[in-house]
Structure 1
Amino acid sequence: MRIISGSHKSKRITAPKNLPVRPTTDMAKEGLFNILNNRYYFDEIRVLDLFSGTGNIAYEFASRGSEQIFCVDKNHNCIRFIQQTSQKLNFDAISAIQADVFEFLDQHNREHDIIFADPPYELTDLSKVIESIFDKKLLSKEGVLILEHSKMKDFSKHSSFKNIRRYGNVNFSFFEWTNTIDA
């Protein structure tokens, strides 16, 4: 995997083979960040990266200047890798938290501008992630929740669903507040 843009553009990062992860492809990540680049000033946003795995998405945000990035994953080796890589790249904005994502969401109360979730594709109830975020009002009123998932999942009927982007086998569903009264 590599960082696409920013202060560490083209930097390659190699994750240990024993991590139980499926990093977002460079092609999909580049497409995603092209969308976000047209909407946000990265140095002004707060990011929450759920099911962080290798930290691939967080490194991209950090390279582009985001100053507050929380990475959450329950796997100790993933968190250790994120911490080591963040330190090596001087990404002080990244805070890695070892926790079950659902327990974290139950206890968390900070608002974020971008929430990215890349749960294991075999996780059956992805709707629970979406509902937890909106029920707890963890997304800012102008924010976006991006859920990476397999093509077998369809969230188009969800009340906060905005659109979907497909990059090969990678699907990103985008969710926003339906109106500012909700937020």
Structure 2
Amino acid sequence: MRIISGKYKGRRISPPKNLPVRPTTDMSKESLFNILNNRFDFEGLKVLDIFAGTGNLSYEFGSRGAEAITAVDADFGCIKFIKQTAAEFDFNIMAVKADVYKFLAGHSSSYDIIVADPPYHFEQQKFEEVVKLVFDNNLLQEDGMMIIEHSRHTTLEHMMNWSFSKKYGGSIFSFFEFDKDETEEAINEDPDVEEL
């Protein structure tokens, strides 16, 4: 596993072999960040990485200068490794050991980017619940983006705020963002919002 861009481009990271993870491949990761590069300036971003596993995606955001990264996973070994790696590279990553669904349900911060890499064997309903919890609890900034990695056996195009999907090898990234027209309509219809 290597960091593909930013301050630590090319640096290799070797997680323990006994972690219960399936890290995003370098090819898929590079394709994902090519899309994000066209949309975001990473400096100063707040990022939430759920089902973080080895922290693979968190390190990419850290290497690119994200201001604050929260990595959540239920596995103690994964969280321990993320903490060690974050300290080694001086990344501003807060690693949280928690059930992702309980974390999302009880969380109140909002983020510029949310990335989720649930186990591919999860049922469709569990993927859908991630989307619902994020948007029901206002965890994504209005101009933010959520990305869920999944296999071809999972379909998310029908979910609220789905924007587009990209396929890379055996992986699919589904992107979610607020519809700008809907956001503007909601503001225009709110009597408490003053026009400038």
What residue number does 2:105 align with?
Answer: 106
Q: Distance in 1 between matches of 2:59 and 2:22?
A: 16
Report 1:27-176 matches (<5 A): 27-91=27-91, 93-124=92-123, 125-176=126-177
Shift of 1:38: 0.7
Number of aligned positions between the proteins: 181
Shift of 1:12: 0.6
Q: Distance in 1 between matches of 2:158 and 2:101?
A: 22
Q: Distance in 2 between matches of 1:155 and 1:102?
A: 18
The SS at the match of 2:43 is helix
Q: Distance in 1 between matches of 2:77 and 2:160?
A: 36
Shift of 1:90: 1.4
Q: Distance in 1 between matches of 2:40 and 2:86?
A: 23
In terms of Rg, which structure is larger? Answer: 2
Gaps of 5+ in 2: 188-196
User: What root-mean-square deviation, in Å, do the aligned CA atoms of Structure 1 and Structure 2 show?
Assistant: 1.0
Deviations 1:129-175 (A, max 9, x none): 00000000000000111000011111112231110011101110001
Q: Distance in 1 between matches of 2:141 and 2:169?
A: 30
Q: Distance in 1 between matches of 2:59 and 2:158?
A: 32
What TM-score does the superposition give when structure 2 sets the normalisation length?
Answer: 0.90
Percent identity of paired positions between Structure 1 and Structure 2: 50
Gaps of 5+ in 1: none
Does the CA-based 8 Å contact 2:131-2:159 persist in structure 1?
no
Q: Distance in 2 between matches of 1:119 and 1:158?
A: 16
Shift of 1:109: 0.4
The SS at the match of 1:83 is helix
The SS at the match of 2:108 is coil
